[in-house]
Amino acid sequence: MAKVRVEDIIKKFNLELVSGGEGVHRTITTSDISRPGLELSGYFEHYPADRIQLLGRTEISFSEQLDSVDRKIRLEKMCDDITPAIIISRDLEVPKELIEASEEYSVPVMRTPMKTTRFVSRLTNYLEFKLAPTTAIHGVLVDIYGVGVLITGKSGVGKSEAALELVKRGHRLVADDCVEIRQEDGDTLIGNAPELIEHLLEIRGLGIIDVMTMFGAGAVRSHKRISMIVSLEIWDQNKQYDRLGLDEEKMKIIDSDVTKITIPVRPGRNIAVLIEVAAMNFRLKKMGVNAAQQFTEKLADVIEDGDR
């Protein structure tokens, strides 16, 4: 999992560092943001100290009504050893007790001119993107008719060659050889290429080609949601392959199960066309049209009529 430090959000959102500068290297481990209203009232039983603490107009105005002793005690308690940062919205004045406590415990206190709700939304989106679980898979990711297809298989099976043919047929390359994947919103997998090999394809015998330069900007895209996996493998005559398509295989990536199709490779098979059709068939199934299921039902009706 990628790390986000307080100094990263200072640069990203152009925040004003008010105090506690020694703690700007603290690590942020969660995208959840806390607005410590109950804590300012004195209740610290379930204080989420590992979250960024955001004080808006409501929290600041409430703290101003506290007597100086209570305000000092409660603001000091908020400056926990694991608290990554405290942010004040709307450019509100920072209580002097908070400045003193933040300097003592090295908890960065920052300020932004943005409204509280808007800033919470932007900061949460940023942290969820940066802190999303990630992995990398050896394969090729192609956008086929809006379906993100991850092509996997052993080295030399023809993944990149199939991707090249798909690009020639008007589809878009996302990544070749290494696909970086992050999990967003619980079960959404987003794939992209490492910056070093973005827009590049490696074809044995030809070397490395720049897809965007050769085929144009419309032949590539920076990232794509992974909807299905096509696994290429050398044809094994002793293996029984699925001929109807009724059984749906799954492959787990991080915490998400993705539909997987295995296509055997042997001379004479147009793999690019098969992958293209697999993507179209996947779209049809999502729209409620399942040819294999319909065929099975018709066959059952025919058999039932023949038995009468």
Residues 140 and 177 in one domain: yes
What range defines the domain where residue 32 resides? 4-131
pLDDT at 307: 63
Evaluate if residue 17 carries a pLDDT over 90.
Answer: yes
CATH code for the domain in which residue 91 is found: 3.40.1390.20
Query: Annotation-wise, does 160 bind a ligand?
Result: yes
**Residue 254 forms part of a structural domain:** yes
89-106: average pLDDT: 92
Query: Annotation-wise, does 155 bind a ligand?
Result: yes
- The bridge status of strand 27-28 relative to strand 16-19 is unpaired
Q: How confident is the model at residue 308 (pLDDT cuts 50, 70, 90)?
A: low
Partnered with residue 234 across adjacent β-strands are 265
Residues 48 and 73 in one domain: yes
Q: Which of 131, 154, 171 is the last residue of a domain?
A: 131
Evaluate if residue 1 carries a pLDDT over 60.
Answer: no
Of 212, 224, 233, give the one whose Cα is nearest residue 162: 233
Residues 111 and 162 in one domain: no
Find the angle CA(121)-CA(125)-CA(127) to the nearest 5 degrees.
120
Of 9, 2, 27, 29, give the one whose Cα is nearest residue 180: 2
CA distance 113 to 88: 9
Residues 165 and 287 in one domain: yes
pLDDT for 259-307, tens place per residue?
A: 999 989 888 889 999 999 999 998 988 888 777 777 777 877 777 776 6
> Percent of the chain scored above 70 by pLDDT?
97
Partnered with residue 140 across adjacent β-strands are 151
Number of structural domains in the chain: 2
Residues 159 and 292 in one domain: yes
CATH code for the domain in which residue 247 is found: 3.40.50.300
Q: Which residues are catalytic?
A: 138, 159, 177, 243
pLDDT for 151-186, tens place per residue?
A: 999 988 889 999 999 999 999 999 999 999 999 877
**Residue 193 forms part of a structural domain:** yes
Angle at which helix 271-286 crosses helix 159-168, to 10 degrees, equals 70
Query: Annotation-wise, does 107 bind a ligand?
Result: no
